[in-house]
Chains A and B, each alone.
Chain A
């Protein structure tokens, strides 16, 4: 373990985080809010800690896979902890665990909140909440890779640990350029959305907050009623479309830019993602039309928004699906698990893994028919190696295991089954609202401290796709010379 390098990297990330508090400070300044000081103090504490860690001398700068995982896991825990400072210092969220929950929810782009009345909070605090989403969307450490001048080849281990998907790769030969390209795509798409939202009559402040929430597939809003507060078909359409777009693998945007449209359209994951979205919308429309909503137009409007919001794991809501029929609710819960595409800002299991799992099942059945047949699993015509396949299966089991253990702990609160299970589903998959007490009009405030702590960890575990955080739990990982 290269401890020096790990803590130095964390120092860098904290410095970046301090710099990212600047826009919120500016907002506090513009709206002449009393929180200017709390932001300044938070920035100071974060920056000083960061600088102190940066002074660590690193004789060996090489990092291996497990160092990369440690940097990502510890980096995220630190970033979330320091991100909670503004909430605490400003007094907006007085409890430590609540502040950490809110910060973890922000960075992991979950969007679950312990706040009962969002509108009562200062604008700068809400802005910070949404900005943490935006930073967490692609990744805080990838941001570090993109802006730092000295990046060596071993940084790929950090990128692998932070990027979602079974086999994250590079877009271009240089890792730094890859990170830059990802951020450029991210910034450009966010900017387009801001402009479109402004055109629909939102204020610049609301437009930014909602664009951050959409781009990162986070879901924090500045209104209690989320996007429903605007009751504008235009705004809802823009957000629906952009939620969908941010759930697509960013590599495909780069391919569009490279005029490789053909392979984009042929991409199996995109087709699957699109197919699932359309099927879910159609099924829900058939289910809720005539029962909950009277006109077909209304049904499509609400079904499309909710489906897009849930599958991309954003978590915005325009309708209280707590009162929808059970069939629609089950579809939404299933979508929560599927999640968005690999290489997007969304969470969940990721479409690609679901496709691979289906193909593995198909192969198993085919093997019964032709025991001697040689069969390989292919994606986009390329063979997926067996190592990746077994990795996906192990990941799936791990995911379910963590889900089960977390549900067990949360159920100690004595809440109903639906609340307990969907609270874990919605946090582990980085969605935000679940069903029952934690539904779109509810929040997580009523849960116990233990549940909040478990769910906070679930959010980060879900965002980093299990392994980095779980690795920290094993003592063999910490030993200086493990065999």
Chain B
């Protein structure tokens, strides 16, 4: 596919990197030569220096044959106009980044008016992700499938859990609940386990199932699930705003700390229910006086990775049950994993997953729609959801008769309101949502899971 990306910032670069690795022809347009230099040197993409709004530059980039244009410049308005121009010039699909909360309520209207195919709001997506992690406190990360009917939760196995040294077969007998352990990360090796696999201490496991069933599973293995009632958020940016909105819906109390007085005043207007504190969130005395130790969760979402890490560590010291930090640079992940911060949220990864999902969907326009795509375990494993339809070649065939490629696991099948953790006798029917876990593969179609020539 031919994809044009306007704006070579953090998001643009990240998207270009991910999309070009999936064998798309990527062209980046940016005004800044310095930014383009890095992309030109490290990525297999073409760089054009110029204004992405200019018709001439867009034509030079070959907008007429472009399948997709992604506008990711710093300005929402610019992105909108870019997409509008691109559509007029012949781009097939357009995606704009629009992140100003003021537009958030009018997104549907904007999408229709500007003929946008998709709007990405990284801050809102990040806030959503954080809200989910807070909703299920034992989980390090939560991904949702089938509009929330199925979740996949990441958790670390600790010695006090009853599942240590048990095989998966025994675990499913013991817990007797409709869950599946779809992936295990043990000392940097990725395992898609089978029934005989034995869970060890310190494994990171991915549990797939209905939310209520997963919570039940937690109880069964001895994790005390306590609902979080109050959250302290450090940093009053856009993520904090969206997060406060989500948490408000979940009836969780929010306390936001920000250092900028003007922003604090602004927030009091935007978020009447939240408590806004003006102060330095990395200052221990401020955190102390704001009663950090008694908060249910602590979330650090300032613009600086380092501050977020420090504040999160501090909160952990105080014994906060759930600590979440936003970290932009993925390269830190190795160092951070061992620090004890419960959940690390990377806006880059979340948005990249979002767009990859959309692009994969475009690539198999004739096949099965892609409903969700998450990349887990340092991008080595994908969890992807397809809708089965008349194009699926193996409808109504018992799974035991299918030759599924090694490294792919059918984690769950969602049929209307029924959630099936599949066994050999189960079949896939039309309109089912099928959730797959795939190691070292890039799936673009449901039919790809079957070995060729069978």
Report yes or no: B41 in contact with A156, Cβ–Cβ below 8 A: yes
B115 contacts chain A at the CB level, 8 A cutoff: no
Tell me how far the C-beta of A257 lies from the nearest C-beta in chain B, rounded to whole angstroms: 13
Report yes or no: A385 in contact with B33, Cβ–Cβ below 8 A: yes
A414 contacts chain B at the CB level, 8 A cutoff: no
A121 contacts chain B at the CB level, 8 A cutoff: no
Report yes or no: A65 in contact with B41, Cβ–Cβ below 8 A: yes
Question: Among the interface residues B2, B42, B44, which one has the most CB atoms of the partner chain A within 10 A?
Answer: B44
**A62 closest partner in B (C-beta):** B42
**B23 closest partner in A (C-beta):** A174
Q: Top 9 A-B pairs ranked by shortest CB distance?
A: A153-B44, A173-B25, A173-B46, A153-B43, A170-B46, A173-B45, A173-B26, A175-B44, A173-B27
Interface pairs (13), CB distance under 8 Å: A152-B44, A153-B42, A153-B44, A153-B45, A155-B44, A156-B44, A172-B25, A173-B2, A173-B25, A173-B26, A173-B27, A177-B25, A382-B49
A positions within 8 Å CB-CB of B: 65, 151-157, 169-170, 172-175, 177, 382, 385
B32-73: CB near A (< 8 Å → 1, else 0) gives 010000001111111001000000000000000000000000
Q: Which residues of A contact B45 (CB under 8 A)?
A: 153, 173
Tell me how far the C-beta of B70 lies from the nearest C-beta in chain A, rounded to whole angstroms: 14
Q: Which residues of B contact A173 (CB under 8 A)?
A: 2, 20, 25-27, 44-46
Q: How far is the CA of A151 from the CA of B21 in the complex (A)?
A: 11
Q: Which residues of A contact B40 (CB under 8 A)?
A: 156
Report yes or no: B20 in contact with A153, Cβ–Cβ below 8 A: yes
Of the residues A157, A174, A177, contact of B41 by C-beta under 8 Å: A157
B interface, how many residues as a size bin?
Answer: 10 to 19
B149-161: CB near A (< 8 Å → 1, else 0) gives 0000000000000
Q: How far is the CA of A364 from the CA of B27 in the complex (A)?
A: 36
Of the residues B20, B27, B42, contact of A154 by C-beta under 8 Å: B42
Q: Which residues of A contact B27 (CB under 8 A)?
A: 173
**A385 closest partner in B (C-beta):** B33
Q: Which residues of A contact B42 (CB under 8 A)?
A: 153-154
B positions within 8 Å CB-CB of A: 2, 20, 25-27, 33, 40-46, 49
Q: Which residues of B contact A157 (CB under 8 A)?
A: 41
Q: How far is the CA of A382 from the CA of B31 in the complex (A)?
A: 12
Q: Which residues of B contact A170 (CB under 8 A)?
A: 46
Q: Which residues of A contact B26 (CB under 8 A)?
A: 173
Q: How far is the CA of A153 from the CA of B20 in the complex (A)?
A: 9
Q: How far is the CA of A152 from the CA of B42 in the complex (A)?
A: 9
Q: How far is the CA of A173 from the CA of B61 in the complex (A)?
A: 10
Question: Among the interface residues A153, A155, A156, A175, which one has the most CB atoms of the partner chain B within 10 A?
Answer: A153
Q: How far is the CA of A157 from the CA of B40 in the complex (A)?
A: 10
Q: Which residues of A contact B41 (CB under 8 A)?
A: 65, 156-157
Q: How far is the CA of A172 from the CA of B27 in the complex (A)?
A: 9
Q: How far is the CA of A174 from the CA of B22 in the complex (A)?
A: 12
Q: Which residues of A contact B43 (CB under 8 A)?
A: 153
Q: Which residues of B contact A151 (CB under 8 A)?
A: 44
Q: How far is the CA of A173 from the CA of B2 in the complex (A)?
A: 9
Q: How far is the CA of A153 from the CA of B46 in the complex (A)?
A: 11
Q: Which residues of B contact A175 (CB under 8 A)?
A: 44
**B4 closest partner in A (C-beta):** A173
Tell me how far the C-beta of A416 lies from the nearest C-beta in chain B, rounded to whole angstroms: 48
**B45 closest partner in A (C-beta):** A173
Q: How far is the CA of A382 from the CA of B33 in the complex (A)?
A: 12
A172 in contact with B46 given A153-B20, A385-B33 (CB within 8 Å): yes
Question: Among the interface residues A152, A155, A174, A382, which one has the most CB atoms of the partner chain B within 10 A?
Answer: A174
Q: How far is the CA of A351 from the CA of B172 in the complex (A)?
A: 74
* Extra A-B contacts (16), CB below 8 Å, given A153-B20, A155-B44, A177-B25: A65-B41, A152-B44, A153-B42, A153-B44, A153-B45, A156-B44, A172-B25, A172-B46, A173-B20, A173-B27, A173-B44, A173-B46, A174-B25, A174-B44, A382-B49, A385-B33
Q: How far is the CA of A156 from the CA of B46 in the complex (A)?
A: 11
Q: Which residues of B contact A155 (CB under 8 A)?
A: 44
Tell me how far the C-beta of B62 lies from the nearest C-beta in chain A, rounded to whole angstroms: 9
Q: Which residues of A contact B46 (CB under 8 A)?
A: 169-170, 172-173
Q: How far is the CA of A173 from the CA of B47 in the complex (A)?
A: 8
Tell me how far the C-beta of B77 lies from the nearest C-beta in chain A, rounded to whole angstroms: 26
